[in-house]
Structure 1
Amino acid sequence: MATQTGITIDGPNKPEPLQQHSGLLINEWPAIIGSDCAAVVIAVGPDCQKLSPGDYVYGCAPLGQNRFTPFQETFLVEEKVFLKKSPNLSIEETCTIGVGILTAGLCLLGGAELELSEDGTKAPAKDEWIVVLGGTGSVGQFAIAHVCGYKVLASCSPSKESIAQVAKENGAIATFNSRGSVEEQLADIKKITGGNFARIVDSTAYGYEIMVKALETCSTATTKYLMSVDDWSEFKTPPTIKEYRAELGHLCRLDEALGIEVTKDIARWIPTFETHLATGTIKPTQYQVADGMGWETVIQGIQDLEDGKALKKIVARVQKE
């Protein structure tokens, strides 16, 4: 069991607004929501092997299961799918990591079949591109493809030069305009990569058409991969392309085959994520801290998000350490 220290409020593709407005991803009523969080362990069960009272943990809480969700003072933590805080990370930084890194892991380790080194080092450079749609979002910023040695081409908004700079700071060699027409984006992808790519990941949930057309018309690879955070739309992916959906909402749903698979994969990757975050090859995302402390701060953060005042992830501290 852990007691809450901080949570992240983010959107628009975060699960909390979806749960709040639609009732999806909720198993019981009245519902307690929440996903990204950081907390301190106050008690452990008899079979707990990794954590001890006083440890700081962070991650993505399993969705829709009240005993696990963090919008409450204390909640249960499944130690196999949570990360233990390393000394180089602040509590605020850890609040930004859970959903993004696990979703990126599902897409790139599960779907694209990449492998992170176990010792926390960056892999040698490969002469192959990966295209990331949404390179500056909460998933794209974790730069797993870059750490695996691939050359990264990231789409981002052209409205601010600083946005493209964020992508490049996280390992992108080149960027292209995500607001361009389909034809313009395909032309950019082909020109920059020369067709030397086999994998596209969409972290925006809006890029399916671009992915399919780019793989069909621009890629020279024999085996092609398409990964998306969109796990709700109907896809008609050609049989020549391997399709993968990141279905993080099934984490710790152990009464279903998909939930067992997702939970097993994430538990297997957690030690590697911890190592890379400790060495700094994978970094937290950008964030802003909400003024004040307590659950009122969370409410204000949600309001700021809905009013369009959030330029980055909002971290809300709910109590003192």
Structure 2
Amino acid sequence: MSHAPTMKAVGLYQYLDISNPESLIDVELEKPQPSGRDLLVRVHAVSVNPVDVKVRSPKSKTEQQPRVLGWDVAGVVEATGPDCTLFQPGDEVYYAGSIERPGGNSEYHLVDERIVGRKPSSLNFAEAAALPLTTLTAWEGLFDRLGISRSPEDNTGKHLLVIGAAGGVGSIAIQLAKHAGLTVIGTASREESADWAKGLGADHIITHYEAFLPQLNAAGIPYADYIFCLNNTDQHWENMAEAVAPQGQICSIVETEGPLNLNLLMGKSAAFNWELMFTRARYQTPDMIKQHELLNETADLVDRGILRTTLTRRLAPINAATLREAHALVESGRTIGKVVLEGF
């Protein structure tokens, strides 16, 4: 009697503090097979994001089957479903995947080809795995939600304030915004995070522990035309409302603990937007393939030397122990750039 092939993975049955060795454990799972528009990808490298920490955070619920996390993958297409048209076996790819499906912390992973891009050829797998989720978030936040033009001539004299500039999303947002011709102000609270943000192109650095508007004014900036909040929406809400330009735009990626007072924006006719890069895959939106397209365009920008990887910490191999270490680093809230794991 033949047995189905298996694969190594890291999963959880219980939602526990990361110091608990049971919070992420090594497991053997059945190797999946692709159908429809799915690719079967052999995983070479994965990255850890705040969403991993949030999903894994302690709660009373338990899982009957191991839940696999991980929403940043770089690897090689092993097989394709019958309806695939964008990729073939042997292609090197990178992607964030869908939060509705098992994550990529496994030797093999299924993903819809419409949310997958070709891996930048100038990067190795670890460098590429640092990029997808944060790039999708930054790109959608800036260009789809805030409505920023990608044409530098449209952005002359326009200012973008990035709150939490040295994290994963901020590290990409700075680069994309500079390429689009914006003046970028980043917030950073430590010297090393300020230096990192400046190295990526931020024109000005302010602290998020003081009121934003006086700091902007001191730099000769009357208001921020656009504000991209990547850190603690509740804490910064009144500061953002004060600093945003009349008819300006605010976008956040961080859920609030309580309701926001939108009336603070009314006098300025300013707008507030959410960005969640899982929306397109979750709802199978008609424009879901845009994630494929923008990951391919990002690969081109990387290969042309316009964008660079945000990898700052590399761990190996991909197993429960190193993933617990990576989760603890991300959970500290002090990581600069991205933490990546490679190799099973």
TM-score (norm 1): 0.81
Question: Is contact 1:123-1:147 (8 Å) kept?
Answer: no
Question: Is contact 1:248-1:262 (8 Å) kept?
Answer: no
Alpha-carbon distance, 1:265 to partner: 4.7
Corresponding residue of 1:302: 327
**CA pair 213-308 structure 1, distance change in 2 beyond 3 A:** closer
Percent of residue pairs identical: 19
Q: CA RMSD in A?
A: 2.9
Give the secondary structure class of the aligned counterpart of 2:42.
strand
Which has more radius of gyration? 2
Alpha-carbon distance, 1:243 to partner: 1.2
Match runs of 1:13-162 below 5 Å: 14-21=50-57, 30-66=66-102, 69-116=103-150, 126-142=156-172, 143=174, 144-157=176-189, 159-160=190-191, 162=192
**CA pair 48-276 structure 1, distance change in 2 beyond 3 A:** same
Question: Is contact 1:116-1:272 (8 Å) kept?
Answer: no
Identify which of 266, 275, 295 aligns with 2:291.
266
Corresponding residue of 2:195: 165
Alpha-carbon distance, 1:193 to partner: 4.3
Corresponding residue of 2:16: none
Q: Return the letter of the residue paired with 1:270.
A: L
Q: Return the letter of the residue paired with 2:78.
A: I
Question: Is contact 1:130-1:150 (8 Å) kept?
Answer: yes
1:226 aligns with 2:237: no
**Greater displacement, 238-247 / 15-24:** 15-24
Corresponding residue of 1:285: 310
Alpha-carbon distance, 1:196 to partner: 5.2
Question: Is contact 2:115-2:290 (8 Å) kept?
Answer: no
**Greater displacement, 262-271 / 228-237:** 262-271
Alpha-carbon distance, 1:250 to partner: 2.7
Alpha-carbon distance, 1:176 to partner: 0.8
Alpha-carbon distance, 1:200 to partner: 0.9
* Alignment length (residue pairs): 295
Structure 2 unmatched ranges of 5 or more: 1-39
More strand by share: 2
Structure 1 unmatched ranges of 5 or more: none
Question: Is contact 1:295-1:318 (8 Å) kept?
Answer: no
Give the secondary structure class of the aligned counterpart of 2:307.
coil
Question: Is contact 2:53-2:327 (8 Å) kept?
Answer: no
Q: Distance in 2 between matches of 1:133 and 1:306?
A: 18
Give the secondary structure class of the aligned counterpart of 1:247.
coil
TM-score (norm 2): 0.76
Alpha-carbon distance, 1:312 to partner: 5.0
| Cα distance per residue 1:260-315 (max 9 Å; x no partner) | 27735534533322322221212211321114454543344335555789665321
Q: Distance in 2 between matches of 1:227 and 1:309?
A: 22
Q: Return the letter of the residue paired with 2:279.
A: H
**CA pair 136-281 structure 1, distance change in 2 beyond 3 A:** same
Q: Distance in 2 between matches of 1:264 and 1:245?
A: 20
